[in-house]
């Protein structure tokens, strides 16, 4: 079983739509979780950390469900500029530890 | 805003040659990482470095690979004898204590011919 799994998509949505991605992780000892955004042939850019209580940053909301071992990302009011690949990542420690990435979910926002 | 920088942006080399990829992490960061991404595949961890030594390495990081922090700012990845399968994007990342947020450089695209 893959350590971090994501639905590869692509998710094709119209501008203004709400879209949600899920990501599951296999190691129950994982401590920290992140969403990254990656544009074509560019580096992963940190979008947000994911906290147990859930967190929101503008149009983006991240949730963690430890019991079911998944994290989610909700994007509201999608913009054309949100088109990218969204990577989830998990780590066994709270700092100083490798990130294990999923393969990414492709989002295409169309006008 | 401080950022991780990497040079060169693209390196083309012949199989069997040595390459050195360079990174300048964010200045107050303590943890340094190399990841790679083969085209069309996921980002994979290679090695982490803390307090002037390797803290963890993956099975990809065999004897052909080495890392160094030769001075207070640079962090390098050396591949001693490149293989065709080493062709990938190599990302350097750095992070600070108290959080595992890692910030990635723009990458070096390595092409082995």
| Local confidence pLDDT in tens for the 111 residues of chain A | 789 999 999 999 999 999 999 999 999 999 999 999 999 999 999 999 998 889 999 999 999 999 999 999 999 999 999 999 999 999 988 778 999 999 999 999 999
pLDDT in tens, chain B (113 residues): 889 999 999 999 999 999 999 999 999 999 999 999 999 999 999 999 999 999 999 999 999 999 999 887 899 999 999 999 999 999 999 998 888 999 999 999 999 99
Whether residue B112 contacts residue B10, with contact meaning beta carbons closer than 8 Å, is answered with no
As separate numbers, helices (DSSP H) first and strands (DSSP E) second, chain A gives 0, 11
Select from B99, B101, B107 the Cβ nearest to the Cβ of A43. B107
CA nearest B88 in A: which residue? A41
- Asked whether the beta carbons of residue B43 and residue A44 sit closer than 8 angstroms, the reply is yes
pLDDT at residue A65 in the model: 95
pLDDT at residue B97 in the model: 84
Burial A28-66 (b: 16+ CB within 10 A, else e): eebebbbbbbbeeeebbebbbbbeeeeeeeeebbbbbee
Pairing mode, strands A105-110 and A11-14: parallel
Burial B32-43 (b: 16+ CB within 10 A, else e): bbbbbbeeeebb
Q: What are phi and psi of A15, to 5 degrees?
A: -55, 140
Chain A hits for B26, Cβ within 8 Å: none
Q: Which residues share a beta bridge with A65?
A: A70
CA nearest A30 in B: which residue? B100
> Residues 50-89, chain B: which have Cβ within 8 Å of A?
50, 55-56, 58, 89
A48 touches chain B (CB under 8 A): no
pLDDT at residue B72 in the model: 78
Q: Chain B interface, mutation test: which of A31, A94, A98, A105, most B Cβ atoms within 10 Å? A: A98
Distance from CA of A65 to the nearest CA of B (A): 19
Whether residue B71 contacts residue B24, with contact meaning beta carbons closer than 8 Å, is answered with no
CA nearest B99 in A: which residue? A95
Q: Pick the closest to residue A80 from A102, A53, A105, A109 (CA basis).
A: A109
pLDDT at residue A45 in the model: 98
A46 touches chain B (CB under 8 A): yes
- Asked whether the beta carbons of residue B103 and residue A46 sit closer than 8 angstroms, the reply is yes
Count of A-B CB contacts under 8 Å: 69
Name the token pair of B82.
Answer: 């490149």
- Asked whether the beta carbons of residue B100 and residue A94 sit closer than 8 angstroms, the reply is yes
């Amino acid at each position: 079983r893959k350590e971090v799994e994501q639905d590869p998509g692509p998710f094709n949505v119209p501008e203004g739509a709400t879209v949600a991605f899920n990501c599951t992780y296999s190691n129950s000892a994982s401590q920290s979780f992140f969403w990254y955004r990656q544009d074509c042939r560019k580096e992963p850019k940190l979008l947000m950390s994911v906290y147990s209580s859930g967190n929101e940053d503008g149009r983006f909301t991240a949730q963690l469900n430890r019991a079911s071992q998944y994290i989610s990302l909700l994007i509201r009011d999608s913009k054309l500029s949100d088109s990218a690949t969204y990577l989830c990542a998990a780590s066994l420690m709270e700092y100083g530890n490798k990130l294990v990435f999923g393969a990414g979910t492709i989002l295409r926002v169309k006008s | 805003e401080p950022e991780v920088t990497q040079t060169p942006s693209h390196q083309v080399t012949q199989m069997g040659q040595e390459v050195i990829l360079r990174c300048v992490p964010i200045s107050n960061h303590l943890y340094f990482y190399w990841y790679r991404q083969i085209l069309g595949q996921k980002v994979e961890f290679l090695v982490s470095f803390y307090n002037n030594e390797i803290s963890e390495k993956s099975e990809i990081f065999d004897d052909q690979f080495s890392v160094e922090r030769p001075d207070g700012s640079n962090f390098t990845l050396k591949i001693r004898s490149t293989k065709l399968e080493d062709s990938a994007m190599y990302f350097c990342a750095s992070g600070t204590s108290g959080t595992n947020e890692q910030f990635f450089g723009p990458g070096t695209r390595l092409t082995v011919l």
